[in-house]
Amino acid sequence: MSSLRIEDACKYFGGLKAVDGINMTVPAGRITGLIGPNGAGKSTVVNMISGVYSLTRGEVYLDEQQLTRLHVDEVARCGIARTFQNIRLLPEESVLDNVVIGYFRKQRSGVMSSLMGLPAALAETRRLREQAWELLGRFGIQKYADYEAGSLPYGHQRRVEMARSIAAAPRIVMLDEPVAGMNEVESAEMAEIFEDLARSGMGLLLIEHNVAFVSRLCSQVYVLDSGRMIAEGPPEAVTRDPKVIEAYIGGKADAA
């Protein structure tokens, strides 16, 4: 079973220590939570792992393979997928095509056969479109398949992005606030999907401000505050930790 590890990772922006010496493990087959106040550095962690940011210090490993200095596309080809906190779809493409592009990593037909329009390449396209269509079904947005992605309501755009990120069956997927903008009923649907994915062996890193949602799904939760890890452990323990309550959850109990 593979796992993603980051060791003593730091990211400084000028004087600002956005991430400051943290260690974390995201095991396969589990859902790992990463929570923390706004500006704690959660998205920065995702960007460091996925290769958008270089690390000021520290290392990233997938099993034994070092990812620290790989570029974005190389990291992705190792099987690490992500979504973006500010949704990033290809706005002019149809919803279906947005998902089809997600299969890139698993494509087998080469550039030449594509340029020459060989039957193998065409058949692959057909097959991928069907798979993408299935996947849209799983996220309940099949009926939007032919719409321009940019015209979908916010919540549906999130689903498209998630579908795209898991299309190529990554080993690890990092979801940055996947249910933001969804109500309880809608996020419950997403929860089911996440659990399915974990059962299939994928490792999920879930960043979310919905503590109840995180508690329900995650086996392990990390809490980041001002770039430092202030707590980690099973959700029940973490959410009762006074440091976490003070920095993050606040006095009032969360809804539902």
Partner 1 sequence: MLLQQILNGTVSGAIYALFALGFTLIFGVQKLLNLAHGAIFMAGAFIAYYATAQGLPFWFALLLATIATGAISVVVDFVAFRQLRKSGHAEFAAIVTSIGVDLILMNIAQQVSNTKVLSFPFGTFPVKFFSFWGMRISLLQLTILGLVLVLVLALAYYINRTSFGRQVRAVSSNEHASALLGISAAAVYRQTFFIAGALAGLAGVLIGLSFNSIHFMMGEPFLLQAFVVVVIGGLGSLQGAVVAAILIGIVQSLTIAYLSSELSTAIIFALLFVTLLFFPNGLFGRAGNYAGGSRR
Partner 2 sequence: MLLEVRNLSVSYKGIQALRDVSLHVNRGEMVALVGSNGAGKSTLLNALSRTVVPQRGQVVFDGKDLGRMAAFQVSRQGLLHVPEGRQVLADMSVWENLQLGMLALGQRPARYSLEQVYGIFPILEERADQIAGTLSGGQQQMLAIGRALMGAPEILLLDEPSLGLSPLMGDQVFDALTRLNREGLTILLVEQNAYRALECTQRAYVLDRGRIVMEGASDVLMRDQRVIESYLGA
Partner 3 sequence: MMSFYYSYQPLIDFFLIAVGLGYSQQLALRAGVFSIATAGFSALGAYATAILVTRYGVPVPAAILVSAVVGMAVSYVLSVPLARLRGAFQAIATLAFVQVVIALLLYFESFTGGAIGISGIPRVMNTGWLLLAVLVTIYVIWSINRTSVGRVFNALRQDDSVAASLGVPIKSYYALAFVLSGLIGAVFGALRSLYVFNIEPVDFGFHAMVASLTVVVLGGRNTLLGPIAGALIMAILPELARPLAENRGILNGVILILVITFLPNGVGDELVYWLRRRLRRAPKTMSKRKEGADVVAAD
Ligand X SMILES: Nc1ncnc2c1ncn2[C@@H]1O[C@H](COP(=O)(O)OP(=O)(O)OP(=O)(O)O)[C@@H](O)[C@H]1O
Residues lying near partner 3 in the complex (CB under 8 A): 50, 52, 71-74, 76-77, 81-82, 84, 88-93, 96-97, 100-102, 104-105, 107, 109, 111, 113-117, 121-122, 124-126, 129-130, 133, 137, 142-147, 164, 168
The C-alpha atoms of residue 202 and residue 193 are separated, in whole angstroms, by: 12
Q: What number of CA atoms fall less than 13 Å from residue 57's CA on the CB side?
A: 10
Q: At what angle do helices 184-199 and 154-167 cross, to 10 degrees?
A: 0
* Identity of the residue, 86 or 117, whose beta carbon is nearer to ligand X in the bound complex: 86
Report strand pairing: 220-225 vs 31-35. Answer: parallel
Which partner, Mg ion, partner 3, partner 1, none, binds residue 43 by CB below 5 to 8 Å per kind? Answer: Mg ion
The C-alpha atoms of residue 223 and residue 116 are separated, in whole angstroms, by: 52
CB of 87 to ligand X, least distance (A): 11
The C-alpha atoms of residue 194 and residue 238 are separated, in whole angstroms, by: 21
Binding mask of the shown chain, residues 17 to 56, with x at each position contacting partner 1 by CB under 8 A: ----------------------------------xxxx--
Name the strands in the sheet holding 65-66, side by side, starting at the edge strand that comes first in the sequence. Answer: 16-27, 3-13, 57-62, 65-66
Contacts of 172 (CB under 8 A, 6+ apart): 2, 4, 26, 28, 62, 79, 80, 81, 202, 203, 204, 205
The C-alpha atoms of residue 165 and residue 73 are separated, in whole angstroms, by: 13
Enumerate residues 54-83 that contact partner 1 by CB under 8 A.
Answer: 54, 69, 71-74
Tell me which of 30, 42, 82, 159 binds ligand X, using CB under 6 A.
42
Which partner, partner 1, ligand X, partner 3, none, binds residue 155 by CB below 5 to 8 Å per kind? Answer: ligand X
Per CB under 6 A, 36 contacts ligand X: yes
Cβ atoms of 5 and 21 closer than 8 Å? no
* Identity of the residue, 167 or 218, whose beta carbon is nearer to partner 3 in the bound complex: 167
Positions in the binding site for partner 2 (CB under 8 A): 13, 35-40, 42-43, 85-87, 151-156, 177, 180-186, 188, 209, 211, 247-252, 254-256
Per CB under 6 A, 223 contacts ligand X: no
The C-alpha atoms of residue 201 and residue 223 are separated, in whole angstroms, by: 24
* Identity of the residue, 18 or 136, whose beta carbon is nearer to ligand X in the bound complex: 18
Catalog residues that contact ligand X under the rule CB under 6 A: 13, 16, 18, 36, 38-44, 85, 151-155, 181
